[in-house]
Amino acid sequence: MPANLTPQYYKLEREFKAERDPQEKLRLARELLAIMPKHKGTDKLQAELKAKISKLKEQAESGGARHGAHRTDTHDHIEREGARQIILIGPPNSGKSSLLDSVTNAKPQIADFPFTTQQPTAGMMEFETVHLQLVDTPPIAREHMDAYLPNLVRAADLVALVADVTDVEAEAHLQIVMGRLEEKHIRLWPGSPAADLDPLYAFKPTIILAHKYLEKHGLEVVNRLKAAFAGFTVVPTSILDDGSLEAFKAAVFSALAVIRVYTKRIGHDVEWKDPIVLPAGGTVMQAALSIHKDFAKKLQFAKIWGAHTFDGQRVKSSYVLADRDVIEFHI
């Protein structure tokens, strides 16, 4: 029986054969398996590809390429903390590290020369009781992008693409960053992508930070960026303007498309801290599952305090929650 492989498959297969980085090769192999037609004509191909995936997984878990006794540290995974993970990317000297230093407890190395950041650095950023993980990364340029960086971008919930408005080629350098990620089948996207977009690409929700906007001609460049990247949210930021940093946090929260749900114990007042964070449209059952699956099984009903209910209204597990709702579980 013929395999009947698609042109998309053959294109991806060529990239797989040319790729040398084990982590990227593993990702491409998994994509090949996912898009391969499943029938008797491809049984042998599926078995061969699964064997390759197993071998590549072993290489990736052992640290990839080895040079003598030294193992290369790939930095391709950042342990998640907080409600969501946001990754800062951008060209050299765009100011990613200064942003991280200003809005989190992290202390990255900061200097006025390119490629100061050598490895990812994470810190916690708080926005209205929600703790978000912000990850600074080494810069991306036409001639350089760390091999592990695409995997970090894929894993993040949101991309914050940082532009230096004092850079006369700010737009071109952002296009280079986008182009380098496109080579790795990642497209930076304004808002949430539709489900029917190209399955070979990871479409990552992205906002653009027009950093150092208080510098001379900064606002002019902000307007240029808005025109060049129509559809993207462009946020002017400066470490000298606390208001702009708060606007950055608010833009991140908005772009994540999540809601905060606060819990209260029966007979007690609500404590406005440590909310449950759910995707917009999340339900009472999803909130219960976020606590524990056994807790959700025992759930009988819930009471809600919020903008769309009267205080203490009894609701079913399918009830759709809104941002800042208060929920009281009854089991």
Closest CA to 156 of 246, 77, 103: 77
Closest CA to 248 of 167, 155, 132: 132
Q: How many domains does the structure of the chain reveal?
A: 3
- Convert the pLDDT of each residue in 200-221 to its tens digit: 888 999 999 999 999 988 999 9
Give me the CATH number covering residue 305: 3.10.20.30
Reply yes or no on whether the pLDDT at 1 is more than 80: no
181, part of any domain: yes
**327's tokens:** 């929920």
8 Å CB contact between 106 and 119: no
- How would residue 282 be classed by pLDDT, with cut points 50, 70 and 90? very high
CA dihedral 72, 73, 75, 77 (to 10 degrees): 100
**66's tokens:** 């080895």
194, part of any domain: yes
Reply yes or no on whether the pLDDT at 237 is more than 70: yes
Scanning the structure block, which residue is given the tokens 């499943």?
A: 38
What is residue 73's predicted lDDT score, i.e. its pLDDT? Answer: 46
23 and 98, same structural domain?
no
109, part of any domain: yes
Chain mean pLDDT for the chain? 87
Domain end call among 238, 256, 274? 256
**90's tokens:** 């951008």
79, part of any domain: no
304 and 229, same structural domain?
no
60, part of any domain: yes
- How would residue 66 be classed by pLDDT, with cut points 50, 70 and 90? very low
302 and 178, same structural domain?
no
Domain end call among 15, 40, 71? 71
Closest CA to 27 of 69, 64, 58, 56: 56
Based on C-alpha coordinates, what's the Rg of the chain? 23
| 170-183 vs 218-228: helix crossing angle, rounded to 10 | 40
237 and 139, same structural domain?
yes
8 Å CB contact between 259 and 282: yes
Burial class (CB in 10 A: 0-12, 13-18, 19+), 33: middle
246, part of any domain: yes
Percentage with pLDDT > 70 across the chain: 90
Give me the CATH number covering residue 137: 3.40.50.300
263 and 252, same structural domain?
no
223 and 90, same structural domain?
yes
CA distance 145 to 160: 17
245 and 146, same structural domain?
yes
What is residue 67's predicted lDDT score, i.e. its pLDDT? Answer: 41
176 and 63, same structural domain?
no
248 and 108, same structural domain?
yes
- Convert the pLDDT of each residue in 149-177 to its tens digit: 998 999 999 999 999 999 999 999 999 99
292 and 222, same structural domain?
no
What is residue 111's predicted lDDT score, i.e. its pLDDT? Answer: 52
CA dihedral 286, 292, 298, 304 (to 10 degrees): -40
Expressed as residue numbers, the domain containing 47 is 7-71
77, part of any domain: no
CA distance 120 to 132: 16
DSSP, residue by residue, 68-135: TTEEP---------SS-EEEEE-STTSSHHHHHHHHSS------SSTT---S-EEEEEEETTEEEEEE
C-alpha dist (Å) from residue 58 to 46, 53, 61, 271: 18, 9, 5, 46
- How would residue 108 be classed by pLDDT, with cut points 50, 70 and 90? low
Closest CA to 173 of 146, 206, 210: 210
Domain end call among 256, 279, 304? 256
272 and 248, same structural domain?
no
244, part of any domain: yes
227 and 320, same structural domain?
no
Helix runs in 188-236, H state only: 218-228
8 Å CB contact between 258 and 280: yes
